Structure 1
Amino acid sequence: MKLLRYGEPGAERPGLLDAEGRIRDLGAHLGDIAGPALSDESLARLRALDPAALPLVAGTPRIGACVGQIGKVICVGLNYADHAAETGKAPPAEPVLFIKATSAVCGPNDAVEIPRGSEKTDWEVELGVVIGTKAKYVSRDEALSVVAGYCVVNDVSERAFQSERGGQWTKGKSADTFGPLGPWLVTRDEVPDPQALGLWLDVDGVRRQTGSTARMIFGVADIVSYISGFMTLHPGDVIATGTPPGVGLGQKPPVFLRPGQVMRLGIDGLGEQRQAVIQGA
């Protein structure tokens, strides 16, 4: 299934994308695509519905983040060896973890704001993993069973805030609009191998990133198991699994986002995002 949330910010409704690419309303069956609605049992009930019997949503509403009420967004840094190399860092021996503030999360086609004082705002297409079952110390063999599904993430980053202002990476990752999610949550039954997905990102029509999740240093099962050893994962938590090479910081010379530019990005089978870049207040 492809699940989504549509409507104005803060008033999104749950929906399902039917086989013809039309939005069907799920409001009679659940309050939001969040928390308990992401369990295997809940998803099985939704899967049993006849999409043609669900109300058809008219027009082209705004698409919100594909998951609501997110408890935490955990990001994995330097998870592609070629990306680590372009940033001048060695591939890590263990997953590098940091947190992105949930207030950064926005819809997949919402404008991305360059924050006040920024000169190095950058792009990062990533595979997002959405947790469906509470997990603590989950084994690698069982790790994928706690995943509800997958989505596209743009882990927008301000490199000077991240690396030149002291402390950890979170301050460079958490500005408003720095976490577009979606357009939809694709349930795990439709993604038989999360390590066989192509990723790409364009800026103003120029291809900047091309990669495959096959080139991750730590695969999804390893990441989920590893993180669950440090913190309990809850339904609706999102993991951003790292970015392939081609970020602005890695260009020679480095190239960063400017107001007026447009990012387009996508992952095989998971849909596309489009964000206009604007100057934040």
Structure 2
Amino acid sequence: MKTLTFPVNIVGAAWKNKNLFIRNFRSFAALNMKFVQYKQKGDQTQRLGIFNDNESEIKELSGFPNDLKKLIESGVNIDDIKAKSSSFKSINRSEVEILAPITEPQKILCVGLNYRGHCDEQNKPYPKEPMFFSKFASSLVGPFDNVIAHKISDSIDWEVELAVIIGKKAFHVNKQNALDYVFGYSVAQDISARDWQKQRNGGQFLIGKSMDTFAPVGPCVVTRSAIDASDLSIKCSVNGVEKQNGRTSELIFDIPDIIERVTQSITLLPGDIILTGTPSGVGMHRNPPEYLKPGDVIESEIEGIGKIVNKVVEG
């Protein structure tokens, strides 16, 4: 992961004044937050909080929306949240159920064949244009929820992906300022029923990608300023055996390029999710092919964001 650097105008000018430097440092650090949606055990009320540094505790955002999508839509200044964070009640992570970090996004947009290694393992040329498809929002589940092995498929596969969370309405965006429209990042699994994706449903991806529970996301949303998403380690293991190990620097079409291309014809809205593609190592292209079965445990991890763990269960 690349080292974060402070804006030159802050470091250069503010260093001349110690107090000014401290204020600017705190302002910059305020943006480096991990938002998490959760329920306290025994209580069905959804809450919104922020992880502490080692993610052992969550601070509840009292006085703000209890839904990250609504918080993003409100246009709240994250500095305001940071300024009040010392007064927020803390709760131990062991006392809560972590939920998907975004509730009911209008769109889950996906990019296929977007890692060089994933193309290489199929002996396919790198695409000249991105291949877009979608998943229904009803496929979205939490970072530690079960994935259903639906009986209508015997070819269910894993795909760890970097998820981009849109922060404001975006239409006709140029790649030069596309990241201004990103709120943050999360970890996702683009679970795929390969038989329905490739052989059935007339070759359309929708059913193979959108079955219930086929989009685990979480455990949090890391604000855009906290990490350089252009070069992060991204991994997936099944039953403790590593299956995928890549870096986001392998992306053929990077995040600004994706946003520019999509928004020439489709409006992105706050809370929309973009799944950016998967590195090599998926089950379908192994020799022999490997597919998920009930009892399997999928672990998906991205540097600087976190890990999600999902058990496969009978449908």
Q: TM-score, normalised by structure 2?
A: 0.84
Q: Please, which moves more after superposition, 32-41 or 232-241?
A: 32-41
Cα shift at 1:118: 1.0
Map of 1:15 onto structure 2: 49
Map of 1:182 onto structure 2: 218
The partner residue of 2:83 within 48, 65, 74 is 48
CA distance in 1, matches of 2:289, 2:220: 32
CA distance in 2, matches of 1:145, 1:11: 32
Secondary structure of 1:57's partner? strand
- Deviation sequence 1:123-172 (CA, Å, 0-9, x none): 00000000001000100001000000000011111100101111421211
**Pair 1:167–1:11, CA change in 2 (3 A):** farther
Map of 2:266 onto structure 1: 231
CA distance in 2, matches of 1:19, 1:205: 26
CA distance in 2, matches of 1:211, 1:131: 24
Q: Does 1:77 align with 2:109?
A: no
For this pair of structures, how many residues does the alignment match? 278
The partner residue of 2:131 within 96, 103, 106 is 96
Cα shift at 1:89: 3.2
Paired amino acid for 1:129: V
Cα shift at 1:37: 2.5
The partner residue of 1:253 within 264, 288, 291 is 288
- Asked whether the 8 Å contact 1:95–1:218 carries over to 2, the reply is yes
> Gaps spanning 5+ residues in structure 1: where?
none
> Gaps spanning 5+ residues in structure 2: where?
1-32
CA distance in 2, matches of 1:88, 1:157: 20
Q: Does 1:278 align with 2:313?
A: yes
- Asked whether the 8 Å contact 2:62–2:88 carries over to 1, the reply is no
CA distance in 1, matches of 2:119, 2:70: 34
CA distance in 2, matches of 1:98, 1:20: 35
Cα shift at 1:38: 5.3
CA distance in 2, matches of 1:203, 1:170: 24
Paired amino acid for 2:214: F
Q: State the structure with more CA Rg.
A: 2
- Asked whether the 8 Å contact 1:13–1:27 carries over to 2, the reply is no
CA distance in 2, matches of 1:216, 1:123: 18
Map of 1:171 onto structure 2: 207
- Asked whether the 8 Å contact 2:107–2:136 carries over to 1, the reply is yes
Secondary structure of 1:183's partner? strand
CA distance in 1, matches of 2:247, 2:237: 15
Q: Which is richer in helix?
A: 2
**Pair 1:39–1:75, CA change in 2 (3 A):** farther
Cα shift at 1:98: 0.3
Q: CA RMSD in A?
A: 1.7
CA distance in 1, matches of 2:75, 2:279: 30
**Pair 1:27–1:116, CA change in 2 (3 A):** farther
> Which contiguous aligned blocks of 4+ residues in structure 1 show a shift greater than 6 angstroms?
none
CA distance in 2, matches of 1:75, 1:107: 18
CA distance in 2, matches of 1:137, 1:60: 44
Cα shift at 1:91: 1.8
- Asked whether the 8 Å contact 2:64–2:71 carries over to 1, the reply is no
Cα shift at 1:11: 4.2
CA distance in 2, matches of 1:71, 1:110: 21
Map of 1:111 onto structure 2: 146
- Asked whether the 8 Å contact 1:87–1:249 carries over to 2, the reply is no
Paired amino acid for 1:182: G
